[in-house]
Amino acid sequence: MSDLDGTLWSHDERVHPRSRRAIAELEAQGIRLLFATGRRLAAARRGLDPLGWAGNLVTMNGATGTDLRSGTEWHREAFSHAAAAATWDTFLEARLPPVVYVCDETTDVVFPPGCATSPAHRASFERAETHYPGPVLASGRVIGFALCGIEGSAWTRAQAVGARLAQRAAVHVGPDATYGGGWLAVGPPAATKRATVARWCAANGVAPADVVALGDGGNDLELLGWAGTSVAVRGSVCAQAGADHVIAPPSDGGWASVLDLL
């Protein structure tokens, strides 16, 4: 099981040739490979499709799980109306209208008026709507809220929002390696990489002790602690927290080292 950004590929989505060959070798050996990412489905596929890989993918930090080969969504964890509205209100009280992520056939996100996320983050979406998200919050289709690339006083307020929501939601907060500044993502309480990967493993007869998990960020820590074997990228938050193995960064093809562990 592996993270994507900062683990399989650099933040420009380039996968080292050695890592590409390692994926092909794992497939040839019949070893099941699962990717888990904080990205939404479309953004993750943008990097995975050129690899020719079509397996099981956990997205939005565990809010959704999809079999890319069949197109079947086997997991979805969404906010209730009350929880979505309360989370939205917490962001507004800090004067930080967030991006609202939805599970919809035609729309990935809603940008509210005055959305506080960075222009570069906004530009990364193709299927977006811009309007007040009231009806969306009541729809039962909201799977996350986020702010990316925020700085200064907005970043200070965002960290306070994360602290307020941590007792009733899955909160991920830290430096934003893609857009600069800081990053805050808030998902439903049960939407974590560990929980969704564990669900997939239980359904497919895979024991936690047999899982090799690779990651680099704060949203990978819980999963690496659960897996039988943890692998962290050198210099990352996960490496600093302690892992069974440390590998080189994706720009050096460190991901390919997983072949030595299997």
Mean pLDDT across the chain, nearest whole number? 95
Average pLDDT of span 155-170 = 96
Pick the CATH number of 81-187 from 3.90.1200, 3.40.50, 3.30.1240, 3.30.70: 3.30.1240
The closest alpha carbon to 173, from 196, 150, 193, 189, belongs to: 150
Strand positions, DSSP E, 84-164: 99-102, 109-111, 128-130, 142-150
- Measured CA to CA in angstroms, residue 154 lies from 79, 99, 109, 149, 184 at distances of 25, 14, 21, 10, 11
Rounded Cα distance, 182 and 171, in Å: 13
17-76+191-261, CATH topology level: Rossmann fold (3.40.50)
CB neighbourhood size of 20 (10 A): 18
Average pLDDT of span 155-168 = 97
What pLDDT, on the 0 to 100 scale, is given for residue 12?
Answer: 82
For the chain, the domains span 17-76+191-261, 81-187
DSSP H or E segment with residue 123: helix 119-123
pTM of the entire predicted model: 0.88
